Amino acid sequence: MAPTRTFTDLYVEVQQFYARQMRQLDDRKLEAYAETFTEDAEFGHTPGREPARTRAGIVADLFEFHKKFENDPVQRRHWFNMIDVEPQDDGSIRSTCYALVVTTRPNGTPTIAPSCVVNDILVRGADDELLTKYRRVDHDQLF
Ligand code: SDN
């Protein structure tokens, strides 16, 4: 039987999920990041770029995207905030949040761009863990 969760339990779980997930991306643990998606997930992070589909597709897409940083000692950090969690009748969770990408180079001043809205559908995996089934990242500069 599914465990009883309060909304507060769920909200904290979603925050913890994002903290771990985004640290994996920022540490360039791209396979581990893809493991936080469902096998059939769809993930669009850049408007105008075809969304990645499936875990293998997400890994390939992110390796391709990060090639531009190969000779660029850059630390990117994705900061999530203003998380709006909406449980759905089918058991999935709609989660919408703000994301700021902070970029820092050695001895440099951090720059903040892009400013984004993240539109997620989260579902539960076989071990009741949260997984991202759908993610579309909208970028503010395009409005
Ligand atoms: O995974 C994300 C991302 C993300 O992967 C992004 C990537 O490049 C790879 C969750 C939430 C937000 C984002 C935002 C981005 C920004 C995107 C484009 C760029 O930085 O130029």
To the nearest 10°, the Cα dihedral for 106, 108, 113, 119?
A: 40
- The reply to whether ligand 1 has any atom less than 6 angstroms from the CB of 78 is yes
- The answer to whether 124 and 131 have CB atoms below 8 angstroms apart is yes
The second-level CATH assignment, the architecture, of 7-142 is: Roll (3.10)
Ligand 1 near 130 CB (within 6 A): no
What is residue 11's predicted lDDT score, i.e. its pLDDT?
A: 98
Best residue among 137, 140, 141 to mutate for probing ligand 1's pocket (most ligand atoms within 8 Å of CB) is 137
Q: List all residues 6 or more positions away from 17 whose beta carbon is below 8 Å from its beta carbon.
A: 36, 122, 130
Q: How far apart are CA 73 and CA 90, in angstroms?
A: 44
Cα(4) to ligand 1 centroid in Å equals 33
Task: Give the pLDDT of residue 40.
Answer: 98
Q: What is the pLDDT of residues 78-136, one digit of tens each?
A: 999 999 999 999 999 999 999 999 999 999 999 999 999 999 999 999 999 999 999 99
